[in-house]
Every structure is written in C-alpha cells, then in structure tokens.
C-alpha cells in the first residue's frame, strides 16, 4: 500500500495516456494520490481527475514561479475550491529562487497570503522550496503556519532543518532524489528522521527515481522511492508503505 502525496497527473505530459498511468500505479500498489494544481490551467484538471477517481484527491494553490500572475480573484477561487469534498490541501506554494520570473518580494507576499488563507479554512499546506530554505522557515514561523501544518514537498534540505519543520507540524516528503547516488542529504534525512514524520511522492512527471532518472516520471515509480527509504532504514517496504500512508491519511484528514 502506497500513497503518492504529490503528482501532476494534470500535466500535459499525461494527456495521451492518463488512465493507463493511473492503472499502472494501482498495479504497483499505489492506491492513493494527491494531484497538485498550481495555476489557472492546472487547478481545474486536478479537480476533474480527483472527481472522476476514487482515492485520488486534489490540492489547490499558486506556484511561486508564477506568483507575479496571481490576482485577488485567484485567491478567492482557491478559497472557494478548498470547500470541494476532494480537495485536501492548499498548495503548492512557497519560494523558488532558481527561476527569476517572479521577484522575491512578490513571491513572499503570495506565499504569506496563501498561508493566511489555509489558516482561515483550516487546511494543511504543501510547500515548494527551491534554493530558499531559510526564507521559507522564517515565513512559516512568522505566519504561525504550524497551526495547520503540512508537507515539505520533495525535501532536499538538512536533517537539522527537517527537525525544525517537524516541530512546526510539517511532514517531510521524499521524492526521486533520495534514489540518486549523489544525493547525500535526502539519504541522510531518510536515515535520521523517524518514519512517523515521513511521506513519499514522485512529483511526476518530474524527477523520476533511479533507474528511470531522466525519463517521464509516473506515480507507479513511488515504489522505487519507498524501497530506497526501506533500504536506508533497514526495514521492509510494507512498513514504509503502511506508515507513510497512515501519515498521509492523518495529515489530509482522510481518516475521519
Ligand atoms: Zn514543487
Ligand atoms: Zn509539484
């Protein structure tokens, strides 16, 4: 049993064979997924996919790379959608200093507004972080994001920062990079952080795990991530699957 907590099945890379990809995921034991929508194009399709499949849920938010494009009406729209029965989180949101499409101050403002919204509707948040760790941690603290908690998605930071995030009520989600031979930090995190605070994800179609690195990623490959975590912890794949699925259920409030 596996829960892929971050998929972009709404990406155009899946337009040709979306249903087959979902079928392959089920065959690989991936029973649950959250499709993440992050702009005007990807949000409606995330909702549509979640509506038409059992055990597939949606998250709605605004990506930091496109922060400059977000208008007040988009925020109202996200708030409205948060009441949809298949929407389980707000995001992805955060900061991305790799791309310079949106100025840092705009990114920060859009990030803060979404945290505020999530607190208003009492839903967990999904954090996207690229080269912005310290600013992210500072904003989460300043905005008291621990009130709702959430996910540090595709986490690639240190064990120390991971512990800080866990204290703020966040789960650490590991993706394809934990399987890369040169990825020291994600492997250290997988070893050091208790399984009760970990999740697994693909972030497909991006970041395919070894040995599929460089190809289109898909939810079935989350098994490779879970296997790597199991190996690093010296426990079974079943235990990783069960515990991380249980964690996801608790976080997304699916067990109530
Ligand atoms: Zn992301
Ligand atoms: Zn993503």
Which pLDDT does position 255 carry in this prediction? 81
Ligand approaching nearest to the C-alpha of 96: 1
Q: Which of 44, 113, 120 is nearest to 84 (CA)?
A: 44
- Phi first, then psi: give them for residue 195, nearest 5 degrees: -55, -25
Whole-number Å distance, alpha carbon 80 to ligand 1 midpoint, is 22
Which pLDDT does position 108 carry in this prediction? 98
Are 39 and 64 in contact, with CB atoms under 8 Å apart? Answer: no
What would the DSSP string read from start to end of 75-126?
HHHHHHHTTSTTEEEEEEEEEE-S--SS-HHHHHHHHHHHHHHHHHHT--EE
Whole-number Å distance, alpha carbon 153 to ligand 1 midpoint, is 7
pLDDT mean across residues, the chain = 97
Residues 6+ apart with CB under 8 A from 110: 62, 64, 67, 70, 93, 102
* Total residues belonging to the chain: 256
Which pLDDT does position 256 carry in this prediction? 62
Which pLDDT does position 86 carry in this prediction? 98
The protein residues having their C-beta less than 5 angstroms from ligand 1 (an ion) are 92, 128
Three-state DSSP class for residue 227: helix
Calculate what percentage of the chain has a pLDDT beyond 90.
99
Whole-number Å distance, alpha carbon 199 to ligand 1 midpoint, is 15
Ligand approaching nearest to the C-alpha of 203: 2
pTM summary value = 0.97
Residue ranges of the chain whose pLDDT lies below 50? none
Q: Write out pLDDT tens, residues 114-131.
A: 999 999 999 999 999 999
Q: Which of 7, 39, 1 is nearest to 22 (CA)?
A: 7
| Distance between CA atoms of residues 115 and 135, nearest Å | 14
């Amino acid at each position: 049993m596996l829960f892929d907590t971050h998929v972009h099945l709404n990406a155009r890379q899946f337009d040709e064979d979306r249903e087959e990809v979902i079928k392959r995921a089920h065959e690989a034991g991936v029973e649950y997924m959250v499709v993440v929508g992050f702009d005007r194009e990807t949000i409606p399709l995330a909702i549509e996919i979640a509506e038409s499949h059992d055990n597939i849920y949606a998250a709605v938010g605004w990506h930091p790379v496109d922060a400059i494009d977000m208008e007040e009406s988009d925020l109202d729209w996200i708030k409205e959608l948060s009441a949809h029965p298949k929407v389980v989180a707000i995001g992805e949101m955060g900061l991305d200093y790799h791309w310079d499409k949106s100025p840092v101050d705009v990114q920060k403002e859009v990030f803060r507004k979404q945290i505020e919204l999530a607190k208003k509707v009492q839903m967990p948040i999904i954090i996207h972080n690229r080269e912005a760790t310290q600013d992210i941690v500072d904003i989460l603290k300043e905005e008291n994001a621990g009130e709702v908690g959430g996910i540090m998605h595709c986490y690639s930071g240190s064990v120390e920062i991971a512990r800080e995030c866990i204290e703020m009520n966040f789960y650490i989600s590991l993706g394809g990079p934990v399987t890369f031979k040169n990825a020291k930090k994600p492997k250290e995190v997988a070893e050091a952080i208790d399984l009760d605070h970990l999740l697994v994800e693909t972030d497909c179609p991006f970041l395919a795990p070894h040995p599929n690195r460089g190809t289109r990623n898909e939810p079935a490959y989350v098994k490779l991530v879970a296997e790597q975590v199991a190996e690093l912890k010296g426990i079974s794949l079943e235990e990783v699957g069960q515990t991380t699925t249980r964690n996801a259920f608790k976080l997304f409030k699916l067990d109530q």
